[in-house]
Amino acid sequence: MDKLRRALSGDDSVISGDDEEQGLAAQINSATTLSWSTRIQGFAICFVLGFVFSILGTALLALPRGLILFAMFYTLGNITSMASTMFLMGPIKQIKKMFNETRVVATLGVFVFMILTLMSALWWHKALLSVIFCILQFLAFTWYSLSYIPYARDMVRKAVTSCV
């Protein structure tokens, strides 16, 4: 961040010889890397914003064209919440982890139900179907989120099995 401040202020006298010895890729990487506190702030802002979008979508359900707004805001909230973790890991690492063999089915399920939710609300205009797809979207997103917690999926499977 100091390098960016120096570059924007035009103060070239403070730049050390180490910067000139670094390669171009290393300079770009250091200029675009976020600090840990910035990553946490970005994560928190995106996560809270995603939660607010989801709650706002639920509140807009009572309006005359509320089904469309509900589906859009609820899906936008889930996308924003999912994108919030990119601040913690970085986008490339997050995408690789999303499509890891242990969670590829859950990831595809989340995206398929997001698309089906929007399609049922925007094109098909089926209220019950939109609500069903939102519930399935929630369950798929929960299953996806549990894949990041060690043994959480196994615990859920055992709990459901014992209840059934």
Q: Which two tokens stand for residue 48?
A: 């809270």
Q: Which residues contact 146 (CB under 8 A, 6 or more apart)?
A: 152, 153, 156
For 137-158, what is each residue's pLDDT tens digit? 999 999 998 988 889 999 999 9
For 73-130, what is each residue's pLDDT tens digit? 999 999 999 999 888 888 888 899 999 998 999 999 999 999 999 999 888 878 789 8
d(CA 108, CA 137): 11
114 contacts 138 by C-beta, under 8 angstroms: no
